[in-house]
Amino acid sequence: MDAGLKRELEAKVYAGERLTREDGIALYESDDLTWLGRLAHHKRTEDNGDRVMFNVNRHLNLTNVCSASCAYCSFQRKPGEKDAYTMRVDEAVRKAKEMEDEQLTELHIVNGLHPTLPWRYYPKVLRELKAALPKVKLKAFTATEVQWFEKISGLSADEILDELMDAGLESLTGGGAEIFDWEVRQHIVDHACHWEDWSRIHRLAHSKGMKTPSTMLYGHIEEPRHRVDHVLRLRELQDETGGFLVFIPLRYQHDFVDSADGKVRNRIQARTTMASPAESLKTFAVSRLLFDNVPHVKCFWVMHGLSVAQLSLNFGVDDLDGSVVEYKITHDADSYGTPNTMHRDDLLHLIWDAGFRPVERNTRYEVVREYDAAPTLAERRAEPQQVWA
């Protein structure tokens, strides 16, 4: 990048000025990762100091049966396929209860768009989960699922959200966003929920007092300009509603080995390469810099591995998800040795080792528990260090 432009961007960031679309594209064109990290770290430190938030949650996928066949998805199964499953309500509750000892504060529930499950199943599951685990917050359903519920119930999103909230819904999840630009979206997304509906449903949720996360699936067929466009659409919506708490860049995954049947379901795998760790760090940094109105940027370590998760804390990230005991959607597409279990202590050490102060949060990003600041490097080096995969 031209030195003059670099100085200009740097000055804007340090003055707290809003970056433009062109600025975002220019930042993606820079290969000076250290510089990008420094800028993003400045912004992250201004907003969140040395804190790294995490929550203790469990991911629950009620069904993997889905009417859609999104090109990047290795999770969905068709009815009757060998390992297609749908949990009964009591099974879902039993699975959630298994985690009680972990002192979880949140259940994160996303599912396929099941062709025949009735709408009433979904609020019933929430009600039973809430009754079984009253202290646990329920973060459930993507905007895509809410739009699906409109279709199968004949109700409006307004009525659906009211009923789900009455059943215990605390927050929607941020999924279904992928890349909003139609130029890309038409090739990867196979359901009917696009920017207009996704934003309509999150806007509605925010108007009801809900806070929600936002996401972006990157590293497939999109270009940096599509990532910038995606963030700017969300930034504009955030200006309007203030309802997004966090932005989560999700790295698109190849499924070299499908855990169940050896099939490759990911239809764009042959013509894509996954984002490298450097590209992921750049994406975290640019997202942090563009998103001046969303308080947190999250690294979902399951998709990045723990080393990149640690490094991401110096590239704008201040939130790690979470103490996950099982996560099917990603793990069906993972052959990189990422562990499928992280407990609270593992996460604390991962954060301290990177030189940050862990803070446990709940679904609304309220503090559950503050921990000590990181020991000094000299103190940390006095003990054998854990090597993160």
Q: Which of 32, 23, 24 is nearest to 1 (CA)?
A: 32
Which of 24, 37, 112, 213 touches ligand SF4 by CB under 6 A? 112
CB of 172 to ligand SF4, least distance (A): 14
**Residue (105 or 142) nearer to ligand SF4, CB:** 142
**Residue (225 or 328) nearer to ligand SF4, CB:** 328
Say how far apart CA 300 and CA 322 lie, in whole Å.
8
Residue 299 found at the interface with ligand SF4 (CB under 6 A): no
Report whether 178 belongs to an annotated binding site.
Answer: yes
Q: What is the dihedral of CA 14, 20, 22, 25, to 10 degrees?
A: 70
Applying CB under 6 A, the site for ligand SF4 has a residue count of 12
Q: 175 by DSSP, 3-state: which?
A: coil
Report whether 299 belongs to an annotated binding site.
Answer: no
**Residue (113 or 281) nearer to ligand SF4, CB:** 113
Binding segment for ligand SF4 (CB under 6 A), chosen from 7-15, 67-75, 194-202, 363-371, is 67-75
Say how far apart CA 263 and CA 255 lie, in whole Å.
9
Residue 87 found at the interface with ligand SF4 (CB under 6 A): no
Say how far apart CA 186 and CA 169 lie, in whole Å.
31
**Residue (26 or 60) nearer to ligand SF4, CB:** 60
| Cα–Cα distance list, 68 to 71, 111, 118, 191, 353 (Å) | 9, 12, 17, 6, 42
Report whether 70 belongs to an annotated binding site.
Answer: yes
- For the record, the structure tokens of 147 come out as 């739009």
Which of 36, 62, 73, 281 touches ligand SF4 by CB under 6 A? 73
Residue 204 found at the interface with ligand SF4 (CB under 6 A): no
Angle between helical axes of 157-166 and 143-153 (0-180°, round to 10): 110
Binding segment for ligand SF4 (CB under 6 A), chosen from 38-46, 61-69, 160-168, 365-373, is 61-69
Residue 172 found at the interface with ligand SF4 (CB under 6 A): no
> In 10 A of CB 239, how many CB atoms?
11
Residue 191 found at the interface with ligand SF4 (CB under 6 A): yes
> In 10 A of CB 166, how many CB atoms?
11
Report whether 73 belongs to an annotated binding site.
Answer: yes
Which residues are known binding-site members for S-adenosyl-L-methionine?
178
Could you list the residues known to form a binding site for [4Fe-4S] cluster, using ranges: 66, 70, 73
